[in-house]
Structure formats: C-alpha cells, structure tokens
C-alpha cells in the first residue's frame, strides 16, 4: 500500500473522535443543553444525585492517587451545586478520615483537592458533626500549610481553607490564636531584612502568593477579636502595626495588597489606641499614596492597575475613616459590606466556596451569621417555586439563552469599539 495512503488512513483514525460543531457554538450550545434540566429538581434527579454522590464517596477509597484526587474534585463540584447535608450527615466520620488522610499522606494534587473541599464539607455535614470534623481536619490543614515538600499552590490552598474554617466554625479563641501564630511564621518571610532593605531573592518572589494567603488569613481571624484584645495582640506580638506597614515595600504584588488590607483591618479593630498608630500620619499615608499612584514601567501593566485600584480604596479609608458600602446579591437576599472586615470576609468566602456560596447561604447558619443575613428560622417564609413541565422549562431556558447571547454580542461590540479607538 502506498505510504501516502497509509498515512492518510492513520490520520483519519487519529481524528476519528466524537466531535460536534456545537462545540463552536459556545454559550448557545450550553444554554440549549440546559433546556433538558429542571431548575427545580424532581424526585428522579434527586435520587440520581444522591446515588452519584455516594459513588463519589466510595471512590475516595480508590487505590490510585489520581482516582482519589479526581473523586475529591468531583465531590467539590457536587457540593457547590446543591445543599446535600441530608446525604453527608451519615458519612461524617468517613469523610473526615478521607480528607485528613489525603492531607497527610496524599500526593500534591490530592492534598490540594482535599484542602479545597474541606470548607464545603464542614458546612454541609451538619452542625452536630462540625466539632469532630474541625478537630481532625484543622491540624492536618495546618501541617500541610507549612510543609515544604508540598507545592506552593497546595500550601496556599491550605492557608485559605484553614482561615475560612476557623472564621466560620471555630469557637475556641486559643485555637484561633494558635492558627494566627502559624500564619505569622509563614508571612514573616516577607518582612524587611534587619538593615531595612527588601528581600528580592527568587524564593521571596515565588513564595509571595503563599505569604499573601497566610497574611490574608491572619487579618481575617484578627477581625474576630475584640478591639481591646486586638490592640494587645498588635502591641505584644508580631506582627506589629509597623511590621505590617513594612510589608508594603515587599517585592510581591500579592504581599503588598494583603499588607494593605491587613493594615486596614488592624486599624479598624484597634484604632482606639492613638499612640500605637501614630506612624499612620507620618509614614503610612505617604507610602499608601505612592502605591495608589504607582506608574513604574518595570511592573506589568495589569499589576500596576490592580495595585492602584486596591490602594486607592485603602488610602481613602485612612484619610477619611470611611469605607464605601457595597451591596451584593446572594440568591434572593442582599449582603451589605460596610467595613473592611466584612469585605475581606466575603472575598474569602467567595474564593473558598465558589458557587457553593449560593447553595449554602439559605441553609447554613454560621455562614448566614458571618454574612449578617437574617436569622435561620426566617427562611421558613420563603415559598418554593412551582415545578415547571418539560415544555415550560425548554421555553424558559431558550429565552434566557437568547438574552445571554444578545448581551454577549453587545459586550463584544463594546470591546471592538474600544480597541478601534
């Protein structure tokens, strides 16, 4: 057989994969596929979902590391879509053991997946099992957060998840302070040198995201303390207010922004001590103003824009003592963010829970309390939506799909016009 013929045969075999031109349809195809699903799940879909989740939990015992990591990711995706406490409450011990084992013995991908799913699991296993889950998972997260054998992404994920778990579910102040001390040992790597110069080594740059996650977690937990206690912490332990201000000169953009947010929360919680924050007038404000107007060309354009936008808000807070109130829709309710602590907390929840924030908000009492929503019993007033038949669902999804397509095209037109200018 001629070589060209044989080559063509193999090329055809290689490209003979399931393919549809619908892949190029983008959002339109996505919308049309969803027309087969109901916004209000029926009994059959609930049964299928329960069976799927139970299969995923069984897969957590797989022998292959990759299979366990994939099961943890699949479990996270399921928990982000639906509130499943009625399924998970009977699996509390098993789930805690799987997450702890993955954090302590798993490979990097499995450890990162376990850290990412931990906050969602803790909020969905039911209040009765929360304390046991925290006692087992919190030490494993803390150990993984400082484990140099883990990747920086894994350590960063552990810091973020640990901060959210402690903020929402930990009642023991001594354990919260212990976690804060652990965070300080991490981001202390971004302190200035003894001679006051900035650390510019490769490690300082690479570890910036990890240090920033630890600093964000420390600031989030500081917001839980009473003003007098916060003043004592900043006066007697590291980091002091001046140490936080020094990190505004760090070489990592993430650390600089985290330091700015931590300074705002520290000032917000402990501003009654004028002597302790005397440096704000003389040293801090000029530095914040410089960061809010930074135009150094050696920094990436995106980094400069992000830094200026962040520090403009921080500078305004220190100059005027006020925070612009933000109102964010969470399902059918509205969350009002009027303090730096509230803004930081919402950002941490959104990052750790993702779409699960919408699924958990109507049901999870600790999350509702943290978001300052109405008490849990008030949810009884919510009337469930009527179930739609197949044709009504199809028409509803088709209309929504068309509206999204029109909005997308308008957005593209605006971008094209902006580029033309």
Pairing assessment for the beta strands 326-330 and 333-337 based on DSSP bridges: antiparallel
Confidence of residue 137 (pLDDT cuts 50, 70, 90): very high
For the chain, what is the domain count?
Answer: 1
Q: What is the pLDDT of residue 402?
A: 81
* Mean pLDDT for the stretch of residues 377-388: 47
Let me know if residue 247 belongs to a domain. Answer: yes
pTM: 0.78
Is 157 in a helix, a strand, or coil? helix
Let me know if residue 248 belongs to a domain. Answer: yes
Least confident of 110-119, 165-174, 334-343, 378-387: 378-387
Confidence of residue 187 (pLDDT cuts 50, 70, 90): very high
Q: What is the pLDDT of residue 188?
A: 92
Let me know if residue 278 belongs to a domain. Answer: yes
- Tell me the C-alpha distance between 79 and 354, whole Å: 10
pLDDT tens digit sequence for 275-284 = 555 555 567 8
Say if CB 57 and CB 95 are below 8 A apart: yes
β partners of residue 328: 335
Let me know if residue 312 belongs to a domain. Answer: yes
User: Which two structure tokens, joined as six digits, stand for 227?
Assistant: 């003003």
Confidence of residue 202 (pLDDT cuts 50, 70, 90): low
pLDDT tens digit sequence for 305-342 = 888 889 999 999 988 888 888 999 988 889 999 999 99
List C-alpha distances in Å: 400 to 28, 30, 33, 358, 378. 10, 11, 12, 20, 30
- Mark 313-336 as b/e (b = at least 16 C-beta within 10 Å): bbbebbeeeebeeeeeebeeeebe
Task: Spell out the residues 6+ positions from residue 245 whose beta carbon is closer than 8 angstroms to its own.
Answer: 259, 263, 279, 283, 284, 287
Say if CB 335 and CB 328 are below 8 A apart: yes
Let me know if residue 393 belongs to a domain. Answer: no
- Tell me the C-alpha distance between 294 and 301, whole Å: 11
Say if CB 79 and CB 120 are below 8 A apart: yes
Tell me which residue of 100, 58, 62 sits closest to 75, measured CA to CA.
58
Let me know if residue 266 belongs to a domain. Answer: yes
* Sole residue written with tokens 């109102």: 327
In whole angstroms, how large is the CA radius of gyration of the chain? 25
Confidence of residue 383 (pLDDT cuts 50, 70, 90): very low
- Tell me which of 24 and 124 has the higher pLDDT: 124
User: Which two structure tokens, joined as six digits, stand for 406?
Assistant: 């029109």
- Tell me the C-alpha distance between 316 and 260, whole Å: 12
Confidence of residue 89 (pLDDT cuts 50, 70, 90): confident
pLDDT at 20 over 70: no
Least confident of 68-77, 109-118, 401-410: 401-410
Which residue range(s) make up the domain with 241?
Answer: 172-322
Q: What is the pLDDT of residue 379?
A: 42
DSSP string for residues in 107-153: -HHHHHHHHHHHHHHHHHS-GGGHHHHHHHHHHHHHHHHT-TTS-HH
Let me know if residue 181 belongs to a domain. Answer: yes
Let me know if residue 176 belongs to a domain. Answer: yes
């Amino acid at each position: 057989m001629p070589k060209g013929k044989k080559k063509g045969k193999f090329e055809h075999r290689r490209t003979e994969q399931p393919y549809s031109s619908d892949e190029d349809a983008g959002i339109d195809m996505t919308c049309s596929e969803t027309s087969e699903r109901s916004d209000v799940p029926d009994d059959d879909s609930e049964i299928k979902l329960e069976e799927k989740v139970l299969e995923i939990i069984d897969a957590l015992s797989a022998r292959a590391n990759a299979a366990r990591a994939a099961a943890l990711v699949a479990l996270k995706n399921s928990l982000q879509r639906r509130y499943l406490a009625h399924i998970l409450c009977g699996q509390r011990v098993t789930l805690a053991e799987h997450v702890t084992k993955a954090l302590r013995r798993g490979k990097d991908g499995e450890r990162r997946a376990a850290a990412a799913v931990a906050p969602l699991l803790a909020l969905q296993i039911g209040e009765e099992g929360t304390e046991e889950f925290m006692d087992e998972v919190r030490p494993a997260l803390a150990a993984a957060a400082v484990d140099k054998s883990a990747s920086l992404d894994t350590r960063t994920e552990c810091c973020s998840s640990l901060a959210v778990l402690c903020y929402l579910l930990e009642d023991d102040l001594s354990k919260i302070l212990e976690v804060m001390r652990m965070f300080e040992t991490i981001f202390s790597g971004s302190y200035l040198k003894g001679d006051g110069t900035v650390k510019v080594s490769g490690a300082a740059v690479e570890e910036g995201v990890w240090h920033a996650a630890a600093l964000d977690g420390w600031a989030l937990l500081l917001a839980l303390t009473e003003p007098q206690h916060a003043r004592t912490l900043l006066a007697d332990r590291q980091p002091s207010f001046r140490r936080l201000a020094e990190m505004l000169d760090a070489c990592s953009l993430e650390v600089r922004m985290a330091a700015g947010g931590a300074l705002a929360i520290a000032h917000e919680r402990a501003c009654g001590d004028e002597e302790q924050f005397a440096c704000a007038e003389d040293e801090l404000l000029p530095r914040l103003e410089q960061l809010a107007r930074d135009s150094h060309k050696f920094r990436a354009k995106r980094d400069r824009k992000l830094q200026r936008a962040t520090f403009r808000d921080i500078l305004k807070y220190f100059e005027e003592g006020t925070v612009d109130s933000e109102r964010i829709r969470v399902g059918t309710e509205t969350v009002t963010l009027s303090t730096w602590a509230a803004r930081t907390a919402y950002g941490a929840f959104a990052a750790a829970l993702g779409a699960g924030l919408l699924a958990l908000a109507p049901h999870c009492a600790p999350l509702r309390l943290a978001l300052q929503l109405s008490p849990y019993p008030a949810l009884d007033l919510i009337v469930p939506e009527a179930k739609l038949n197949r044709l009504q669902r199809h028409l509803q999804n088709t209309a929504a799909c068309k509206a999204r397509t029109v909005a997308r095209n308008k957005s593209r037109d605006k971008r094209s016009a902006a580029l033309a200018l």
